[in-house]
Amino acid sequence: MLQKHNSTKHTHVQEAEPICILAGSKVTLIRQGDVHAEVLFMSNQSKLGIQRLSKDEYVVLASGEVKQFKPAEGKMREALRRTFQELKALIRTNFSADDPYQKFITLTYRGADMTDRERLYADFKKFMMRLKEHCKGHQLEYIVVAEPHASGGWHMHLMLKSMVMGLWIDKDKLTEIWGHGYTEIAQLKSDDVGQYYVHYFTSLQAEAKDLRNGVADPEAGSKAYIKGGRLQYYPQGFRFYRCSRGIRRPTREEIMYWKVQNEYGKPKRQRAIKLVVKDEAAGTEDCINHIQREAFRRRE
């Protein structure tokens, strides 16, 4: 029997302390290139689903509770976060700071902010055609990310590599090829390029000494970053990153946890949440699922 909104039972998500996953547990291994991987562990996979009842309501199969879908704004922010998770995995799969010929390029517009999204990708397409002509002999592969300003204007970041060794591009020539404003070109940073650059793309710089509850202190004078603060400036439904055809995709497989440990060693990072059913009338709280993500880097 389905429980309506006035039920004393409520299902919610809580942050949780990571657990030690048993060696014999089955996990999902997501390989992200030759070095990085992520593990997804769920203590109870059968308790995670929902079923749509109408355009406004759904039922949590774990508890029978009927709930309303989140407003469009909340759903959009969650969708953006999932998309950036996918982008992080793509970057890890294809790029590494260990390769001196892989580049991080910034393309900007001079003068007033450029707000035309159709023009943005049309300009980028022409730029890539000219760049490929300039870099004859190289098979160029890329991930390009459109990044918004608070004012609504756009600039682009390009992660670029060649399948042939020795790619080199002069900065002045790069600016000439782009033709719309200044450019920057640098080597990739960090031993985890996916984590580093997704944080770069989503965090909003603020003049602040510290952050309190995610809000910058305008009285302070040093630079700080609001994690995820830039997400509010991405328009709904906008495809903010694109890849060339040769970009590899992460792979997924079901595997025993001990095999992951044998191959990658200990996790570098862990994050866990738990799905909890709370009965206010009875004063009880039951965890019906523990969900844990772990990041690994292959042992050298």
**Could you give phi then psi for residue 238, rounded to 5 degrees?**
-80, 130
- Looking at residue 24, its pLDDT comes to 95
Put the strands of the sheet holding 65-68 in their side by side order.
50-52, 57-60, 65-68
Dist. CA 156–CA 232, nearest whole Å: 17
Is residue 215's pLDDT more than 50? Answer: no
Dist. CA 34–CA 92, nearest whole Å: 9
Residue 128: helix, strand or coil by DSSP? Answer: helix
Q: What percent of the chain has pLDDT over 70?
A: 77
- Across 21-35, 149-163, 211-225, which has the greatest mean pLDDT? 21-35
- Looking at residue 127, its pLDDT comes to 97
The 10s digit of each residue's pLDDT in 50-68 is: 656 566 666 665 555 666 6
- Looking at residue 205, its pLDDT comes to 62
Dist. CA 81–CA 158, nearest whole Å: 20
C-alpha dist (Å) from residue 143 to 32, 69, 115, 157, 194 = 15, 33, 21, 8, 12
Is residue 6's pLDDT more than 80? Answer: no
- Looking at residue 217, its pLDDT comes to 39
- Looking at residue 220, its pLDDT comes to 39
Least confident of 75-79, 108-112, 135-139: 75-79
Smallest CA-to-CA distance from 51 within 61, 41, 43, 42 is with: 61
Average pLDDT over residues 261-270: 94
Dist. CA 197–CA 116, nearest whole Å: 24
Is residue 178's pLDDT more than 90? Answer: yes
Least confident of 105-109, 175-179, 295-299: 295-299
